[in-house]
Structure formats: C-alpha cells, structure tokens
Amino acid sequence: MSSADGTLLDLYRRMLRIRFFEEQVNDLYTSAKMPGLAHLYIGEEAVAVGVCTALRDNDYITSTHRGHGHCLAKGAAVDRMFAELLGKEAGYCRGKGGSMHIAEQEKGNLGANAIVAGSAGIATGAALSAKKRGTDQVAACFFGEGALGQGVLYECMNMASLWNLPVVYVCENNMYNEYTHYRETTAGDIAARAEAFGIPVQDGDGQDVRNVYEVSAIAVARARAGDGPSFLHFRTYRQRGHHVGDIDRAYYRSKDEERQWAEDRDPVKILGQAMIREGAADAAALDRIEEEVRTEIAEGVKFALDAPYPQPEEVTTDVYA
C-alpha cells in the first residue's frame, strides 16, 4: 500500500463510512424502522477495510452475520445496503436477504451468511473454481473467532491446503462468541489449528488498518501467486453488543474493558490521530471527510426509507423448486 495521503484518507473514509452506517443502523433499529436483527461491526472496521483494500474488485469475499462492514468495504453502495436492511425492493437482494445475507456478485461478494462458519465452503470453493478456471482471483473468507468451534472450517482448511487453493481465512477475533468469552470456548492455541494443516498464520492488530492491510497484502499476494492458503488472525473488539438489543452486557464483560477499547483502541481514531501526527492530513481534511460521509449516509437512509417494499409476486420470484 502506498502511504500517500490519498490512500490513507481513503482508508479513513471507508472506515468512517462503516462506522456511520452502523450508527445509523442502530438508530433505525431502535426507532423500530428496521425489522429483524442487527449485528453491528463498530470497532472492527479496520479489519474489513484493510483486507478488502488488499483485494481486487473481481476477488471474492464471503461474510458473516456481522457483515455490513465487509460488504461496504468490498464496494457495496450505502443506499442499496440500507434498502436491503429495511426489506425494500431496491436492496441488493430485492429485500429477500436482509441484514445477514447481503450479496453483490458484481463486486465478488458471494454473500453474508447467518450460519457461523457457513461460508467456509463457499469461499474455499470459489478459490477452487478460480484455480480451475485459470484466473488469478483470490477468495477471502471472513469469520469471527466463534467459527473456530465449527468442524466444517477445518474440513475446508484441510482441503485448501491439500489443493493449494488461493484462499485467505480471515479470523476476526473480537473476543466474544455472542455472549461468551472465547477463552471459555477455544482450547489451545488458535494459530496452531491452522498450522496443523500446513497453513501459514499471521497475527495482526485488527485496530490498525495499515497493519491489517500489510498483513493481508502478503497473504493475498501469496494466494495469487499460487502459493496456497493463509490464515490471518486479527485481534479486534466488538464495541457494541452481539446485536443491537444486547444492551446489558455486564454479566459477560466489564464497562472498563469496553471503555478502554473504545477510547484507546478505536480503529477510526487510531488512523485519524496517526495521520495528523505524521502530517499526512490535518484536522480540517478529516472534518471534511466526516461531513461528506455523513451526507452520503443521510442520503442513503432517505433513499431506503422512501423506497417501495417488494410487490407480493416477489415472494415466488426466483423460486424454481
């Protein structure tokens, strides 16, 4: 990655877009304008943005129930994202997928997935497909540390290693499997699990987008060169609850811990402060970006709120069996 101002500012803008998007989702949800479930990505923005910056448009990603950040980072537009979250026809899935299932084939997004580790096969299969078709596409498989409990992930990693597939497994370790600390659910050493399959593991600081990018770029280049899969382990933090309704969290983590991560380890603040410190941007430039992103988000929400719901006949559209 170039450390030119433009690129860093772009990373900043893209993280901020996710941050403001998610804050807006929180508002929509708590004001009963959004149905269903909302799992916010606030605090983890650097992972999606850093990884996706290392990918090309025609590379693949698969995402998770906490997937808004991945989808935006891979290039989804705010207005159609909001429309999908509100169940509107203009949404990426015509309102039929919702928050947990946004897919955008044109940008290589093979879909967010509401089954934990459910997309390990899809991402690995996309990598197999790229290899078979002789392209140099790469697939990035996002999952949380909760997915480490699912056997299918290991089945897929085994085959990815055996067949030398261009896939990057991206473990976003936000420390909580829903409401349970991962130390209560995850025995041994996480890295050792991937290393057992002969897959190289790289740890990264999930709050530092530049670090995420650098680590990802190596793994992506390795995959693209035909040197096989990698496993990236990013330590990060889910600043909000498992979902918007998870407000009383004292029984599984302390307010001190939350405050610490939000104040000292916030990925957006970390990049903003670094740019100012290093002279890559001034406060005015960051304010300008903030203003522009707020406008983009406001317009996107308005678009989605005004958009029509699907017609009843949509319920049987794309039904073939």
- Residues in region 298-317 near other proteins by CB under 8 A: 317
Contact call for residue 30 and other proteins (CB under 8 A): no
Q: Which of 104, 100, 73 is nearest to 85 (CA)?
A: 100
- Residues in region 146-175 near other proteins by CB under 8 A: 151-152, 155-156, 158-159, 162
* Binding-site member from 38, 48, 55, 128 for other proteins (CB under 8 A): 128
Of 126-134, 174-182, 187-195, 270-278, the segment contacting other proteins by CB under 8 A is 126-134
Q: Which of 125, 167, 173 is nearest to 149 (CA)?
A: 173
**SS3 of residue 144 by DSSP:** strand
C-alpha distances (whole Å) from 104 to each of 57, 73, 282 are: 11, 12, 35
Number of residues in the chain: 321
- The residue (of 196 and 298) whose beta carbon lies closer to other proteins is 196
Per-residue contact track with other proteins, 32 to 61, x per CB under 8 A?
Answer: ----------------------------x-
Q: Kindly determine how many residues on this chain lie close enough to bind other proteins according to the rule CB under 8 A.
A: 45
Of 101-109, 206-214, 240-248, 298-306, the segment contacting other proteins by CB under 8 A is 101-109
The torsion defined by the Cα of 71, 77, 78 and 79, in degrees rounded to 10, comes to: -130
The pair of structure tokens assigned to 283 is 């406060």
Q: Which amino acid is at 154?
A: Y
Query: Beta 167-173 vs 139-144: how paired, if at all?
Result: parallel
Contact call for residue 235 and other proteins (CB under 8 A): no
* Binding-site member from 184, 248, 263, 318 for other proteins (CB under 8 A): 318
- The residue (of 9 and 117) whose beta carbon lies closer to other proteins is 117
